[in-house]
Amino acid sequence: MKRRDALKGMGLSLGYAIATPSILSLLQSCKTEPLIWNPVFLTQKEGTVITNLVDLILPVTETSPGALDANIPEFLDLYAHKVYNDERKAKYKKGIQAIIKALNVLDADPSKLKIEDYDALLAKYLKSTKAQQKIYNEETDEDNQDVIIYKALVDLRGSTIWAYKTSQQIGENVLAYDPVPGEQEGCISLEDATGGKAWSL
């Protein structure tokens, strides 16, 4: 069985439910500086756009590092390159190209865009009404640009959060982390158990 098929068989294609040692090592290998990052699957333009979107999805806060601190764009690029099959790669690229078209940078340098441009795009689709999101989800026209962009941004948000929570830096320093668990204590609140933090995977 191919490694890609094994990973997909374990529920990683959409649910991101399991972080196998192979995926964890892939995530930990993404330690490049953003300024010298050369994408392997994405183009430079696509990489710039994804980096800016990911930074807005999970920004730095007073209490936690952001997605860029955990090298999430690099991981997403490498993950798509090594794990996605041809059909999934084509769908992923189609979504990114639709995002780039919506940002009006098909033939321009995306570094000229402002954060407000990216923020407006995210707000338009990810903060749309439940009724509008239902329309996007039920639309069957595969060439509807709004639907393509919506689904691409939802997928990007989901994979960004999954990769972030799976990274070593976040798992050990932000989430509740206990490499050698002690006794099991049932029926206690999350606040009492971990100070309100979710457990690291």
Angle at 28 between CA 56 and CA 158, to 5 degrees: 35
Confidence of residue 2 (pLDDT cuts 50, 70, 90): very low
Q: Which among 170, 181, 154 is positioned nearest to 24, based on CA atoms?
A: 170
Q: What's the full length of the chain, in residues?
A: 201
pLDDT of residue 49 exceeding 50, the answer is yes
In the chain, the amino acid numbered 64 is S
State the DSSP code for 112.
G
pLDDT digits (tens, 9 = 90+) for 59-102: 988 888 888 988 999 999 999 999 999 999 999 999 999 999 99
* Domain annotation covers residue 181: no
**Coil/strand/helix, residue 176:** strand
Number of domains composing the chain: 1
Q: Is residue 139 part of a domain?
A: yes
pTM score, whole prediction: 0.72
Element (H, E) at 98: helix 86-102
Determine, yes or no, domain membership for 187. Answer: no
Whether 199 is covered by a domain: the verdict is no
Please give the single-letter amino acid code of residue 65: P
Task: Give the three-class secondary structure for 199.
Answer: strand
> Quick one: pLDDT at residue 111?
81
Query: Residue 184: inside a domain, yes or no?
Result: no
DSSP E strands in 58-157: the ranges are none
Q: What is the mean pLDDT of the chain?
A: 79
User: Which residue's entry shows tokens 């340098």?
Assistant: 109
Structural domain harbouring 100: 3-174
The answer to whether 164 touches 70, Cβ cutoff 8 Å, is: yes
Beta bridge partners of 199: 176
